[in-house]
Structure 1
Amino acid sequence: MSTTPSRAAQGPRHSRRAPGRRALPTVMAVVLFLVTFAGTGAAFAYQSLQGGVDRHNLDDILGTDRPTNGSSEPDNPDDALEGEAYNVLVMGTDSRDGEENADLGGGANSVEGMRSDTTLLLHVAADRSRVDVVSIPRDLLVTIPSCSLPDGSSTYEQYDAMFNGAFALGGSTGDVGYAAGCTVRTVEAMTDIYIDDFVVVDMAGFKDMVDAIGGVDMCFEEDMYSEDAKLDITAGCHTLDGETALAVARARKGVGLGDGSDIGRIDRQQELLTNMVEQVLDRNILTNSTELYQFLQAATSSLTTSDRIGNLTTMAGLAYSLRGTDVDEVNFATIPFDWAGNRVRPNYLTDELWASIREDEPMVLPPDEDATDEEATTDDSTEVDGSSDASGTQG
């Protein structure tokens, strides 16, 4: 794996911050670029990109035993989601088996099959005034309900199971749609939130996306090394190629990676995605038709989605409706938890978080440890209770 000295050697940035101010308009511009092409070559490009998305009918997979769906029939044919709160589950996954499984951090004795190492619940407010993004740790201990399989059989309900086991159970036959469906069912059972759509991003495609934009800049406060993830990088700022960026996103155990839990990795992943969005802008990818097509081809060819969101026209309508959303209204959080050995469990604050999303109200966030520390430094009269673990920080 290789890195080069960063073209933008900036200091480390807090990984829980929202993307840059232009992030949402950029997503909108990219998708609208696709659906407003003119000319034969552009039409072919659109068809090629749309054809790269593997789409599945979520209703067929999950049936009707689900939380209440508050959506109504759309009034605007150009935006099927107009005026509705919208929840989409985004998963990052690898297909892992044999030697490849050991190489990707699973270890020689890991279970074969598909794994979802990244899961985000993305909630878009009905009035499009804000977007809330909640990271769900793979190590979270949950109940995984019985899930349907493509052959008509079902899995057994599992208690006190790791959250990412839902994807592996649903995908035991190799069908990514059913793997995503079991994860959706698990999230719905845990939160009582209706999930409108899902998106699965294959991490091999993520690597190609990074290479298509010429790498991604990222800074590190200390050396990081993981034999399992094939990560070996020194402290400082680097421009990561696709392979190295993928290793940074995957790595959990090793030097400079914390206690081996999923929490530190979630922060790195959020920062990595934020930097990618910014660099698509800074490197003028949107104005270069060849580079833009290569980037979008890598993106769409790595997607498995439910039917509606997998339609590029639907993506365009949603993106356009978010054009006025300000960065201050894009919120990242990791669900509140308590430690259970080297795993984590949802704590009492989680119910408040899920309730705010169900009711389409501003997300109830746990106390921000960094903000608390800063207040304590600048205001001697502020008392800080260091005993609270509500933010999900061990220790």
Structure 2
Amino acid sequence: MPKSAPASPPARARSRATQETRSREGGTDKPTGGPHHARALRSHRVARAIGLVLTGALVFVAVGAGAVYLDLKSKITVSDVSEYVVGMPTEEPPKDPSDPFAGKALNILVMGTDYRDAENAALAGEEEGMRSDTTFIVHVSGDRTRMEVVSIPRDSLVDLPACKLPDGSMSSPRRNTMFNEAFQIGSGGVDDMDAAAGCTISSVYSLTGVPITNHVVVKMTGVIGVVDAIDGVTMCFPEPIKEDPRYGTLDLPAGEHTLDGHEAIGFLRARHGTGMGLEMGSDLTRIARQQAFIDSAVRELLSQNIITNSPQLYGVIEAVLGSISADPTIADPTALAGLAFSLRAIKPSEVVFTQVPVVDAASDRNRVEWTAEADAIWQRLIDDAPPPGHEPVTDPRDDATAPADGATDPGAGTDPGTTDPGTGAVDPGTGATDPGAGTDPGAGATEEPRDGVCA
């Protein structure tokens, strides 16, 4: 694992699509390449929806682990007899679990895999090879006040470096290759998960210059476990949804319905059928459907206040941890508890989702290339800098005279930039960020919920 980062991303990470332009219609970025771009992004939008749920669950587990620690600690009756003990040297009391990375920014690579082991094959059918279904860099700031999750489209055409294979040999570098093939190449044809993850980490570093400090590999079955652990996700459908039986068995009635884990994964993965846009394969309806599930899942987590429900919280944690493999530090319970404890103060508004900005690939209209704007994302991760709109609020008088004690700081009020004034969707052309599950300040209580979200 690299110990230090270069001053800027490697030259090969610079996009070949620097000169591409984009047009705006109705506030939505549309690529000049037309409908081909929509098809190119279709698969990774499903992956992104699944990945957001998994990443949210991982973040929830990290914060939840700290809450469990505090919850268990609070149940113990404290008996401090030190003042009554005579003639024995006193000892310093033990400290709260320490963050092994204290003061250091983290870049955790989260890889969701479509590897068809027994569990995953039961969901998606058997298929040879290992690929990363979705990939995120979870950046945790050194001061533990914010978190940024950057998604990397699986259909990105990139130059992959040579990787060390399970037999000790090196693979050949690949040019103009889909990003998610790094996972398969690294596995060496023997389905070695560690080597597959190692090749993906090497590729991310080669392409971005961002040093990866830790990694987590998540199976798609993780969504099932998390949804079942919170007793399902309730959604409201304006019409029946039926998947084409050639592709799946999803069959949901109109009206309110609580999805269990298997129905949830089917809802996110469905590509063909009838209801809620499946007939036309419209990207707009697919995005709305996937976003509706995420919204509903977040509502379930918040409404149930699972943090205070230890048995249910343990169930969520068990579901997530049972579907992941991780590097030794993240897998160490003591280290994980310390990291989780240090994340307890992060506000939901400071968990930001960003997507790498892309355009149609010149060589293949069903693939995408990163734009030059991606370099700014990588650089701020390297520099541990906040995303736009999340810069620390400073008092302009600091350079002159500090305010007197008790004086009101005009810059310390509520930050109006932490909520999404629009749809909350990430702009694939500019990498604009989505500040989590914020409330739309302009819509108010009269806003009609999107199809699938219960009022």
Give the corresponding residue for 1:363: 387
Unaligned runs of 5+ in 1: 1-14, 40-75, 375-387
The 5-angstrom pairing of residues 207-226 of structure 1 reads: 207-218=224-235, 225=243
Instruction: State the alpha-carbon separation in 2 of the partners of residues 270 and 121 from structure 1.
Output: 20
Alignment partners' CA distance in 1, 2:165 and 2:284? 31
C-alpha distance in structure 1 between counterparts of 2:242 and 2:335, whole Å: 40
Picking from 337, 340, 350, the partner of 2:374 is 350
Give the TM-score normalised by the residue count of structure 2.
0.59
Conserved? CA contact 2:97–2:338, under 8 Å: no
Matched, 1:184 2:204: no
**Residues 295-306 of structure 1 aligned to structure 2 (within 5 Å):** 295-306=316-327
CA deviations on 1:295-347 (whole Å, 9 max, x unpaired) are: 33222121110111122222222222222222222211110000121211101
Report the Cα distance in structure 1 between the residues aligned to 2:116 and 2:164, rounded to whole angstroms.
Answer: 22
The amino acid across from 1:228 in the alignment is Y
State the alpha-carbon separation in 2 of the partners of residues 29 and 372 from structure 1.
28
Structure 1 residue aligned with 2:263, among 233, 244, 247?
244
Selected match of 2:349 from 328, 343, 357:
328
The higher radius of gyration belongs to: 2
1:24/1:322 contact within 8 Å kept? no
Name the residue aligned to 1:194.
211
CA contact under 8 A between 1:184 and 1:195: conserved in structure 2?
A: yes
Matches within 5 A, 1:1-395: 27-28=61-62, 30-32=64-66, 78-96=98-116, 104=124, 112-171=128-187, 172-218=189-235, 225=243, 227-228=246-247, 230-233=249-252, 238-252=257-271, 256=277, 272=293, 275-276=296-297, 278-340=299-361, 341-363=365-387, 390-391=429-430
Is this contact kept in 2: 1:88–1:122, CA < 8 A? yes
- Assess, with a 3 A threshold, how the Cα gap between structure 1 residues 220 and 154 changes in structure 2: closer, same or farther: farther
8 Å contact kept, 2:106–2:141: yes
Whether the aligned pair in 2 keeps the contact of 1:210 and 1:245 (CA below 8 Å) is yes
How big is the shift at 1:220? 6.3
**SS of equivalent residue, structure 2 residue 131:** strand
Q: Is the 8 A contact 2:109 2:215 kept in 1?
A: yes
Displacement of 1:291 after TM fit? 3.5
TM-score normalised by structure 1 residue count: 0.67
Residue 203 (structure 1) shift: 1.3
Checking the alignment, whether the CA contact within 8 Å between 2:306 and 2:313 is kept in structure 1 is yes
Please list the CA deviations of residues 112-168 of structure 1 after superposition, one character each: whole Å capped at 9, or x if unmatched: 122221211111111222211111111111112111122212222211111111112
Further displaced range: 352-361 or 243-252: 243-252
Which range moves more in the overlay, 115-124 or 26-35? 26-35
Relative distance call for 1:284 and 1:360 in structure 2 (3 A) is closer
Q: Percent identity, please.
A: 43
CA contact (8 A) 1:146 1:155 kept: yes
